[in-house]
């Protein structure tokens, strides 16, 4: 990879992390919980006094804004835009990322996107046979893990860091006693 590619990867990954953090915080707010309530059951949300149309529109606007940021980052990395970038096959790939990551998990969808993208590249040496192996892998994942990789759970970066620091502390404490 060249320096430009490395920089682009870092910018896209950092932007993704910032967007995920902002979305996680938004979803924990009262507005975010209202949007989640509308997503789960419109009738129940409406009966609890939540304006369904208002929160659907807010969710659509937020999703459109994030899609616009993704499009800007895509153009920054690729350098140009052509209609094939939004073809039906690409849309199916994005849908597979979401389903395999877990329908209710943003971090699961991101994790699935990274894994499946690298899996496609790893299987590239098989040429046409990868078009057979990739769907088989997807079928096995859906058979043995139908809720997706993370299901409705989210990866917590704060929890990961705290577990890592606790692990390091326990190893240094054991090393100091010996």
Per-residue pLDDT of the chain (178 residues), as tens digits, is 677 888 888 999 899 989 988 998 898 899 999 999 998 899 999 999 999 999 999 999 999 999 999 989 988 888 888 888 778 878 888 888 888 888 888 888 888 888 888 888 888 887 777 777 777 877 887 888 888 878 777 777 777 788 888 888 888 877 655 4
Cβ count within 10 A of residue 31: 15
pLDDT on residue 47: 93
Cβ count within 10 A of residue 127: 8
> Can you tell me the distance from the alpha carbon of 74 to that of 50, in angstroms, rounded to the nearest whole number?
36
pLDDT on residue 76: 86
> Can you tell me the distance from the alpha carbon of 45 to that of 48, in angstroms, rounded to the nearest whole number?
5
Helix pair 106-122, 88-101: axis angle to 10 deg: 120
What Cα–Cα distance (Å) separates residue 110 from each residue in 104, 105, 117, 167?
12, 9, 11, 26
Helix locations, the chain, DSSP H: 3-27, 30-40, 42-47, 52-78, 88-101, 106-122, 130-144, 157-177
> Can you tell me the distance from the alpha carbon of 16 to that of 170, in angstroms, rounded to the nearest whole number?
32
Dihedral sign (CA 66, 69, 73, 75): positive
pLDDT on residue 169: 86
Q: Which residues have a Cβ under 8 Å from the Cβ of 82 and sit 6 or more positions away?
A: none
pLDDT on residue 176: 52
pLDDT on residue 29: 92
Helix/strand/coil for 146: coil
pTM of structure? 0.73
DSSP 8-state assignment for residue 41: -
pLDDT on residue 69: 94
């Amino acid at each position: 990879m060249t320096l430009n590619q490395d920089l682009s990867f870092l910018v896209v990954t950092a932007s993704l992390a910032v967007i995920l953090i902002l979305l996680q915080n938004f979803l924990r707010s009262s507005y975010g919980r209202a949007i989640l309530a509308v997503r789960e059951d419109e009738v129940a949300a409406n009966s609890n006094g939540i304006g369904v149309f208002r929160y659907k529109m807010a969710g659509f606007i937020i999703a459109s804004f994030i899609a616009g940021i993704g499009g800007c980052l895509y153009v920054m990395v690729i350098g140009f835009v052509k209609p094939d970038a939004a073809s039906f096959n690409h849309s199916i790939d994005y849908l597979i990322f979401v389903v395999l990551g877990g329908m209710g998990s943003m971090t699961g969808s991101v994790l699935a996107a990274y894994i499946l993208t690298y899996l496609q590249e790893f299987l590239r040496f098989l040429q046409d046979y990868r078009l057979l192996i990739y769907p088989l892998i997807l079928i096995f994942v859906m058979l043995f893990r139908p809720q997706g990789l993370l299901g409705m759970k989210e990866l917590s970066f704060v929890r990961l860091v705290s577990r890592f620091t606790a692990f390091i502390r326990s190893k240094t404490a054991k090393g100091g006693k010996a």
